Chains A and B, each alone.
Chain A
Amino acid sequence: MLYRECGVFKSTYAEDMAIFPLPLDKWGMGILLIVAFLVIPMTADRYLLTSIMIPFLIYSLSTLGLNILTGYSGQLSLGHAAFMAVGAYTAFNLSARLDLPILLCFLGGGLMSAAIGSLFGIPSVRIKGFYLIVATLAAQFTIEWVITHWAWVSGENVLGAIDTPPMEILGRSIDTPVEKYLLTLVVVIVLTIFAKNLVRGKIGRAWMSIRDKAVASEIIGVSQFRYKLLAFSVSSFYAGVAGALIAFCHLGCVQVTEFELLLSFWILGMVIIGGMGSILGSFLGAGFMVLLPIYINRVVRMMAGVVPSDILTNLELMIFGGLIIFFLIVEPYGLARLWLIIKGKLRLWPIPY
């Protein structure tokens, strides 16, 4: 009853093929955007913006990138964090050395990451599954090594750390949390719409066909080489931009250790928990992995007096791990599928007949 197609008459294919064919979805998205653009910037405190919203958005973007590669195209990768590092360090160099406008730096970071990502994607034409994971691990280690050993990359810093120069857009400096949040939000929204358009069109179908049945997809006319490399480069582009955002809008000063293998695992975890092959899933997965630990931490801290502190820190991890397992058992296809099921139920609720 609350959520239904009934009474929504579409008379053209263009209407049927819109991203949100139902009015309720359009309204929901509109409200969400109003909250994101107006309510949060006006009411949120520094902590909510810098520690929750900005990382949530950035990791969503990065997860979206990996989802394009793993969820849509079926190619496994454990080098995603390294591609984020490429984006961060490239954007830093473009900004610090060439003094380019900040958006161009982000774009450059993404493009550089896309180039390197597609280079490491070449093995995917011949190998798949676990073997491809090992090949992408090579990307992770090679890139980390290059950044720590080639001092030029990090501007001759001994630790390989970069301190991002101040940002400016059209002469207006971006330095307060609200401004950084809005910049991140705009970048994430633009790239999300772009990704949504890609995956619902010819390219997305070709990616999914490779994932579902490679032989049939090749016989239909999909060049495996071209589309796998395209998936790697688009995915790495998103990782690169996310990395640049982490450096410029989130942390301000980053080291290579921010982008080590563990982060690759985390992002893969976000993809799996959120839902493979789902744009919404990327956001839900990132939300789960970024927000949940924070709230678990708050709840656990309330028990500070009762439980000894050494157990307390481990308790956090245990609850988090338990919740991951719980959600994977409840819905192995991820939170996005859970949302679809809820939507399906809402079509009849509360009057089932």
Chain B
Amino acid sequence: MSMNVDRDHILVEVEDIHITFGGLKALNGICMNINKGEILATIGPNGAGKTTLINAINGVCHPNPGRIVFEGKDLTNMRPHHVASLGIARTFQNVALFKGMSVLDNITMGRHSKIKSGFFSQGLYWGLGQKMEIEHREAVEIVIEWLEIQNIRETPTGALPYGLQKKVELGRALAAEPKLLLLDEPMAGMSLEEKEDIARFILDAREEFGTTICLIEHDMGVVMDVSNRIVVLEFGEKIAEGTPEEIRNNQRVINAYLGTDGH
């Protein structure tokens, strides 16, 4: 199914993007698609440009030259907050939670763009202001229940252990009900049990909300189990793309990343 180009199925088109930091070519002519409803894994050695790719999609850095199209809209020079409003959410490699705010507030932040009430209705907590707050609280509670973190609802996230922080961050991204969810190493530094937990949530998110997911992960076991398709990057270039099975047997990938003879 690797080159099955049917445009209706494509959610994101990444067209020949280049990103340079000073003299360093972080991304050098990447072309790829993210299909609707799939779980796409991006793998590659450290410094391959995986995070830069995600940063480019959600507007943190802008490709030049190159073009990124999301549902027919050109994202190339959009500001991140604008990209977010189109339905793209992400998590970070190093947890980027709002440490002074409670779990509840953090996850509610995910719905920021969806809360449509004006300044005065919020200040007076009257009419739409109150209605919106309660309505979105209900939506947030669904995510909290789903992630099974009811007991830490009111805890400031700064006080939580790492594994739970990762979970809350995932919750914050999911609360936005994104069309595309970008996960930057959602399982880094986790125990096996926690990894299985997160893997289950990723699969469930796709099942229950129909979210398209693009994830970066180093744990090959997880990547092979979870993803439909894999893109492999090395030194800012795409060296392979295909199903887990195809990637596992691709000689270039084995050389670059998985190790030459499977030790």
Complex contacts, B163 vs chain A, CB 8 Å: none
Residue contact B122 to A213, C-beta cutoff 8 Å: no
List A217-242 residues whose CB lies under 8 Å from chain B. 217-224, 230
Question: Which of the 9-residue segments A195-203, A281-289, A312-320, A344-352 touches chain B?
Answer: A195-203
Instruction: Give the CA-CA distance A230 to B172 in the complex, in Å.
Output: 24
Q: Which of A194, A201, A217 contacts B98 (CB 8 A)?
A: A217
Instruction: Give the CA-CA distance A230 to B85 in the complex, in Å.
Output: 20
B83 to chain A: closest residue by CB:
A219
Residue contact B92 to A212, C-beta cutoff 8 Å: no
Instruction: Give the CA-CA distance A201 to B124 in the complex, in Å.
Output: 11
Instruction: Give the CA-CA distance A216 to B122 in the complex, in Å.
Output: 23
Q: Which of B84, B112, B124 contacts A202 (CB 8 A)?
A: B112
List A164-213 residues whose CB lies under 8 Å from chain B. 194-195, 197-198, 201-203, 205-206, 208-209, 211-213
Q: Given contacts A215-B96, A219-B60, are A201 and B125 in contact (CB under 8 A)?
A: yes
Residue contact B134 to A208, C-beta cutoff 8 Å: no
Q: Which of A203, A222, A230, A277 contacts B100 (CB 8 A)?
A: A277
In the complex, what's the smallest C-beta–C-beta distance from B89 to chain A, in angstroms?
7
Asked if A13 CB lies within 8 Å of chain B CBs, one says: yes
Instruction: Give the CA-CA distance A209 to B83 in the complex, in Å.
Output: 18
Count residues of chain A with CB under 8 A from any CB of chain B: 30
Instruction: Give the CA-CA distance A348 to B44 in the complex, in Å.
Output: 54
Residue contact A205 to B130, C-beta cutoff 8 Å: no
Asked if B15 CB lies within 8 Å of chain A CBs, one says: no
Q: Which of A202, A222, A224 contacts B117 (CB 8 A)?
A: A202
Instruction: Give the CA-CA distance A17 to B129 in the complex, in Å.
Output: 13
Residue contact A220 to B123, C-beta cutoff 8 Å: no
Question: Which of the 9-residue segments B24-32, B103-111, B206-214, B234-242 touches chain A?
Answer: B103-111
In the complex, what's the smallest C-beta–C-beta distance from A278 to chain B, in angstroms?
11
Interface readout for B193-228 with A: 1 if CB under 8 Å, 0 if not? 000000000000000000000000000000000000
Q: Given contacts A201-B129, A202-B112, are A220 and B176 in contact (CB under 8 A)?
A: yes
In the complex, what's the smallest C-beta–C-beta distance from A52 to chain B, in angstroms?
29
Q: Given contacts A198-B122, A205-B101, A209-B101, are A221 and B133 in contact (CB under 8 A)?
A: no
Residue contact B110 to A212, C-beta cutoff 8 Å: no
Interface readout for A111-136 with B: 1 if CB under 8 Å, 0 if not? 00000000000000000000000000
Instruction: Give the CA-CA distance A198 to B122 in the complex, in Å.
Output: 6
> What's the A-B contact tally at a CB cutoff of 8 Å?
101
Instruction: Give the CA-CA distance A194 to B126 in the complex, in Å.
Output: 11
Residue contact B122 to A201, C-beta cutoff 8 Å: yes
Output the residue of A194, A219, A223 with the most chain B CB within 10 A: A219
Asked if B80 CB lies within 8 Å of chain A CBs, one says: yes
Q: Which of B59, B84, B105, B113 contacts A205 (CB 8 A)?
A: B105
Instruction: Give the CA-CA distance A195 to B105 in the complex, in Å.
Output: 17
Interface readout for A272-315 with B: 1 if CB under 8 Å, 0 if not? 00000100000000000000000000000000000000000000
List B69-85 residues whose CB lies under 8 Å from chain A. 79-81, 83-85
Complex contacts, B110 vs chain A, CB 8 Å: 220
Q: Which of B81, B99, B101 contacts A221 (CB 8 A)?
A: B81
Interface readout for B159-197 with A: 1 if CB under 8 Å, 0 if not? 000000000000010001000000000000000000000
Q: Given contacts A205-B109, A220-B172, are A212 and B99 in contact (CB under 8 A)?
A: yes
In the complex, what's the smallest C-beta–C-beta distance from B137 to chain A, in angstroms?
5
Q: Given contacts A217-B98, A219-B60, A220-B172, are A203 and B84 in contact (CB under 8 A)?
A: no
Residue contact A213 to B97, C-beta cutoff 8 Å: yes
Instruction: Give the CA-CA distance A208 to B99 in the complex, in Å.
Output: 9
Asked if B147 CB lies within 8 Å of chain A CBs, one says: no
Complex contacts, B96 vs chain A, CB 8 Å: 213, 215-216
Instruction: Give the CA-CA distance A208 to B104 in the complex, in Å.
Output: 13
Residue contact B130 to A14, C-beta cutoff 8 Å: yes
Residue contact A213 to B133, C-beta cutoff 8 Å: no
Instruction: Give the CA-CA distance A202 to B110 in the complex, in Å.
Output: 11
Complex contacts, B52 vs chain A, CB 8 Å: none
In the complex, what's the smallest C-beta–C-beta distance from B211 to chain A, in angstroms?
16
Residue contact B92 to A222, C-beta cutoff 8 Å: no
Asked if B62 CB lies within 8 Å of chain A CBs, one says: no
Instruction: Give the CA-CA distance A223 to B100 in the complex, in Å.
Output: 20
Residue contact B81 to A223, C-beta cutoff 8 Å: yes
Cβ-closest 7 pairs across A and B: A221-B84, A212-B98, A216-B96, A221-B113, A197-B125, A201-B122, A194-B123
Q: List 9 A-B contacts (CB under 8 A).
A: A197-B122, A211-B98, A212-B100, A216-B98, A217-B109, A220-B89, A220-B113, A220-B172, A221-B176
Given contacts A202-B115, A223-B81, 12 further A-B contacts (CB under 8 A): A194-B123, A194-B124, A202-B133, A205-B101, A208-B105, A212-B98, A213-B98, A218-B79, A219-B59, A220-B113, A222-B112, A224-B81
